[in-house]
A and B are shown apart, each in its own frame.
Chain A
């Protein structure tokens, strides 16, 4: 370090307090101040030019700046936690059911496996295809009262198994009776249709006759000359 004098004194004091000098230079500076007490005040004022202030608490500053993602993360944590809890609870309940099933219950379950309404009371028994409900059957009975007995009889009997000829005859008679009922109805309907057709034909004939009569009357009036003669456009048509 160069020699300390009044011209470079400030720079060296600055360097001293900045901590840029080595130990030997520092001692040299202190010796200079000791030897020249008139510069001691200058030296001390350089030393007091340093700022020293502790960090003060600023109310509301952090709250103003901080990103409040803690709330959202709290909700995410809560949802995840609840999901996990629910899954654990559901898994636990399933495992409990498995544990409860004793061999006796299993046997009962196996027995009642074919009955869906017993295993699950909410499920209604589904009727098999082809089988009809009682209501449907009653309705059909009420509609076809005449035919139902005969059809039932036909379905029940097997002709090959009947050996007695008298019984066979009686069955055949019954069948004829049942069959005879239905043609009579059909014939009646046909007759009705025929009569209606005949009536329509007669009506048409009457109408035709009336039209002819009206035409003849019109021609006679024309020949008498009551009406003015109009020369037709096409003479051949006349």
Chain B
């Protein structure tokens, strides 16, 4: 069972990671904070069932599910691609590679994006990501390959424009 001290420790250790993971997907600070808050609320509610070792992956899974639910509701954001609007490529020449990648990341579907974030930023392996997102290792690898390929292609495009 998760004690208050464990919970507070989880907040101190993982809240920033969860926030980074969410904000990369939703691109809204207030919304990201709301989702993080919901994650920790759920963690506290299910404190009897969450093992101490698996708090971090459990939080990421919850965050991913919450994001999917929020996007399904279509409450806040509207995908530019889904609306058929072509994003103007008026890029600032001073854009760093990080900002370019962020732009490319926005074009990815949520699942691919989350797999990429979990792999690159959190360092999870395919198996762990698969457990978190209810996917097989092969599925994770395939999604990751597609995500990287898209980013690579977008970067190439942007480089040619710039």
Q: Do A and B bind each other?
A: yes
Taking a contact as CB atoms under 8 Å apart, the answer to whether B145 and A65 are in contact is: no
B56 at the interface (CB under 8 A from A): no
A58 interface hit (Cβ, 8 Å): yes
Which residues of B in the span 1-39 have a Cβ within 8 Å of any Cβ on A?
4, 7-8, 11-12, 15-17, 19-20, 33, 36-37
Q: Which residues of chain A have C-beta atoms less than 8 A from B121's C-beta? A: 51-53
Interface pair B97/A48, CB less than 8 Å apart: yes
Q: Is B156 an interface residue (CB 8 A)?
A: yes
- Within 8 Å of chain B (Cβ to Cβ): is A69? yes
Q: Chain A: which residue is nearest B147 at the CB level?
A: A49
B4 adjacent to A69 (CB under 8 Å): yes
- B: number of interface residues (CB 8 Å): 31
Q: Which residue of B lies closest to A41 (CB)?
A: B156
Q: Which 3 pairs from chain A and chain B are nearest by CB?
A: A51-B120, A49-B151, A49-B148
A sample of 11 inter-chain contacts (CB < 8 A) reads A10-B149, A14-B149, A49-B148, A50-B148, A51-B116, A53-B20, A53-B121, A56-B20, A57-B16, A62-B12, A66-B12
Known: A11-B145, A14-B149, A53-B98. 14 other contacts (CB 8 A): A48-B101, A49-B152, A51-B116, A51-B117, A52-B120, A56-B16, A58-B19, A58-B33, A62-B12, A64-B37, A65-B11, A67-B8, A67-B44, A69-B8
| Interface residues of A, Cβ cutoff 8 Å to B | 10-11, 14, 17-18, 41-42, 45-46, 48-53, 55-58, 61-62, 64-67, 69
